Structures are given as structure tokens and as C-alpha cells.
Structure 1
Amino acid sequence: MDRKKKVKLLGEHFGVKPKYLGAPSFAYEIETPKEIYTIDREGRIMIPAGEEIEFEELIAGPEESLSYELEIPMDGHSGRSLRNIVNMIYSRQPLIKKALNIEENIVEEDLVIKINEADIKSIDSLERAMKDIDDLDHPGIKFNFQDKTIIFKHTGTEAATWLFALINKNAKAQKRALAKVKATDNEKYTFRTWLTRLGMVGDEYKEIRKELLQNLSGNSAFRKPGESYE
């Protein structure tokens, strides 16, 4: 099988668009929430750890876009950055729920209040703060402190998977995310600008942004109704 065919099939399998890297490597890159695969000039599939992965092994595995849960290692996180995830989701929860067409909350207000009142620094301190918190207070996300992973639910689409993956990434970079829900009279514009801040920019995210905005009201291009380029 030639390289172009291999790249095309892998892109379809993972539900993502392969990225051509150009000179000097002339390789293709396929980035999923769990791994980055590089297909070199010889058609070899490599991961950042330097290991070569067999094409048949990847194709035989489950399609990631069909997964209903996204499990991410806590690597690089502190207790504060994990709290950032909760606060980021809570502050945009009405729009996230509408974008993903889900009824239940991802996190409840009781959880948000408790972990923001606690002195959170390390992951252990967050675990202690959440010790007496019921799972019903965070039905859409789970912190597995034993396995050191974060499990996001409601990820039955590629768009949802990327949304939570970018929330996780940005939570590590932010010093403090506030759990403050702001009202908006233009859902599409508000959510689009937030997606941009998360890093969902460029043509590679075009279809994902479109999917996430389709259930929202308003105009994604203009903040105020009636505005135009003229």
C-alpha cells in the first residue's frame, strides 16, 4: 500500500484531517486526543516516543471518533489545574450543553463551591477535598486519582472529544480559571471566541467549530445583532 493511501485511511479511521508537514521531513501528521502519529517518507508510522506502529494494528483498533469517553492522563497537572478544568466547564456549561445537545449538567454547583472554598495546591489536596463529594455532583467528568486519569463523558463525536481535550490543555496553562457563568445574547459569538482562545483556530478545526456552533443562537461573526462588514 502506498503512503498516500495509508494516510487517507488513517485519517478516515480516526476522523481527523492529516496534516502535511512539508520540507524537510515531507511527512504527514495525524493528531488524535490520545496520540500523534507521523507517517514519514517511507510510509513508516511513528509516535513521539520513537516507536514504530504497524498500520494494521491501528486500523484493527476501535475508531476513536466512536468513543463515548475520553480518558486523559493527569500528567502535567496540579490540583489547581484540575480545578481549572471544573471551573472552565462550569463557566461555559450552558453553551457546552447546548452545543453537545446534552440535558444533564457536566458539573454541579455544589462541586464547584466546595473545591473553590478548599485550599487546593496539589493533586492530593484536590483528592481530599473531593473525598465526601458525591459522583452525582460531577456526572460528566471523573477524576480517577488511583489511576491518575481524567475521564470526560459526552464525547460521542470528534467535536466533543477535541473540545474537552483543549479544555484539558488550557487548564494546565491558566493560573486561575474563574467559575463564573456570564449571560450572553449572542451564543454563537460568545462560544466561537472562547473556542478561539482554547486554540481551535485554522482550517483544520473548521468543521469541528461548525458542528459545535450549529445548535447555538446568534451570529458567530458579529457580537451585536445588526452589525455587518459594511
Structure 2
Amino acid sequence: MDRKETVKILGEHFGVKPEYMGVPSFAYQIKSPQGIITVDKEGEIKNSEGIEVELEELLNDFQEESVKAETEHSEIIFSIAGHTGITLRNLINMISSKQTLIKKALGIETDIVTKEFVEGINNIRISSIEDFKTAVLDIGEEKCPGINFNFEKETLEFKFIKDFENAEIAVQFVEALNESSKKFKHSSPKERQTDNEKYTFRTWLLRLGFIGERYKQARKELLKNLGGNSAFRGKINE
């Protein structure tokens, strides 16, 4: 991996624009919650204490810290910060479009979002979080049993995955859902039939960012309950 790609990954991971320092260092600096990260002209990465670190190690450190905080007491909760009414609807639609596969992958039977809830939020104009809140209250919070929207505390609780046996993978999954919903301009709630569950779900996971060695175990765990073959698109005769 070259320096340019390393800088880009760090900037995207921490949601900031890397700053080029120019001469004489020719280094890039990236602001993180734990201080300034520096990528020198040779591509070496140093943390805020000036200690050289590997990219994967640095990303994993923050991931592990996030996991520890968010899975306390078996609750998986995220802030609504960064969302709009549109992106919250995206989140619901993304889940709706893969609900059958998500339920099978996680071994759950109850719907995460009901058909009535999905239709309700897609049949009215929603722009702001206040619009979304009004829609949720009008439709009924009980129609979305897998997610709790706490508008007073401005949080989202992903109840549908709290009993998943691997807490770290659970957080990785809902974190990817949450972040992806903020990036998409639009997401369709329509669920398409598939002859190859593994391939369809794996492709979707990759779109959510489950790429590389870091997510290898997560992909394996999330695909193990599904039928088909993750390597081939066509129908698999089992």
C-alpha cells in the first residue's frame, strides 16, 4: 500500500481531511480522538507519541475501544449524530431490503422492521430528524421492534442483534449499517428473491465495507447459516 492510499484510509476512518505539512517534512497529519497521527514522506505511520505503528494495528485499536464501549450490558447503541431524516430512512430501507437474509444469518425469527413501518416512512416526505420522529410516532414505535429510536437521548439501539454470540462482530455489522446509511443518497426497501443466499449477502457485506483480512472472521460467521456458495453468482444445486 502506498502512502497516498494510507493517508486516504486514515482520513476516511476518522472523518477528517488529512493536512499536508509541506517542506521540510513532506508529511501528512491526521487528527484522531487520541491525538495527531503522522504519515512521513517514507510512508511510515507514527501515533501522537511519535511511536511507529502499523495501519491495521491503529485501526484495530480504535475498533476495539468502540466495541468495548458500545456492547456494555449487551446493548448496542449509537448516537443519532450525523444522521438526517433521510439517512435514518435509508437505514430502515437497507435492513428491509435484506431482512430475510439478515434474520437467517443471525438466527432470529422476529421481523426487525415490519412491512407497515417500512411503507409508512416511505409514503411521506421526510427530510429532517424531526420529520422522521413524527413519522415514527404516527406509525407506532412497536412497528419497528428491532430498533429503538430514543429521540430524547438522541440514540439508536440495535435490539435485534444484542443476543448474537460474538459481540465484536455484532458491533461491526450494525456499525457498518449505520455508517453506510449516512453515505447513500437513497436506499430502496424492496427485497429481491435470490437463488444463492451466500453470494447475495456476501456482496452486500462487501458494499457495507466488510473487505479484507480484518473482516474475514465476521464474513465467515455472518454467512455460515446461509445456503449457496459465496464465490459464484448463479444458482447452486445442493
TM-score per shorter chain, which class? 0.7 to 0.9
**For residues 172 and 63 of structure 1, what CA distance do their matches in structure 2 show?**
21
Partner of 2:108: 102
1:127 alignment partner, SS class:
helix
Partner of 2:215: 205
Equivalent position to 2:229, from 210, 213, 219: 219
Equivalent position to 1:23, from 29, 33, 44: 44
Relative to total residues, which structure has the larger helix share, 1 or 2?
A: 2
Partner of 1:79: 85
Say if 2:199 is the partner of 1:189. yes
Deviations 1:188-218 (A, max 9, x none): 0000000000000000000000000000000
Q: Give the direction of change, closer, same or farther, for the CA distance of 1:124–1:64 in structure 2 (3 Å limit).
A: closer
Partner of 1:168: 178
Partner of 1:115: 121
Partner of 2:63: 32
Q: Quote the offset at 1:63 in angstroms.
A: 7.7
CA RMSD of aligned residues (A): 2.3
Check whether the contact 2:229–2:236 (CA below 8 A) recurs between aligned residues. Answer: no
Q: Quote the offset at 1:142 in angstroms.
A: 1.2
Write the letter of the residue equivalent to 1:24.
I
Q: Quote the offset at 1:67 in angstroms.
A: 5.1
Q: Quote the offset at 1:109 in angstroms.
A: 0.6
Q: Quote the offset at 1:23 in angstroms.
A: 2.2
Check whether the contact 1:33–1:165 (CA below 8 A) recurs between aligned residues. Answer: no
Question: Normalised by the size of structure 2, how large is the TM-score?
Answer: 0.71
What fraction of aligned residue pairs are identical, expressed as a percent?
43
Q: Which runs of 5+ in 1 are unaligned?
A: 1-20, 37-61
**For residues 218 and 192 of structure 2, what CA distance do their matches in structure 1 show?**
24
Question: Normalised by the size of structure 1, how large is the TM-score?
Answer: 0.73
Q: Which runs of 5+ in 2 are unaligned?
A: 1-38, 47-51
**For residues 143 and 85 of structure 2, what CA distance do their matches in structure 1 show?**
18
Write the letter of the residue equivalent to 2:45.
P
Check whether the contact 1:200–1:209 (CA below 8 A) recurs between aligned residues. Answer: yes
Deviations 1:141-184 (A, max 9, x none): 01111111111012333222211110100100000101000000
Say if 2:142 is the partner of 1:136. yes
1:177 alignment partner, SS class:
coil
Check whether the contact 1:170–1:198 (CA below 8 A) recurs between aligned residues. Answer: yes
**For residues 157 and 183 of structure 2, what CA distance do their matches in structure 1 show?**
19
Partner of 1:6: none
**For residues 34 and 168 of structure 1, what CA distance do their matches in structure 2 show?**
18
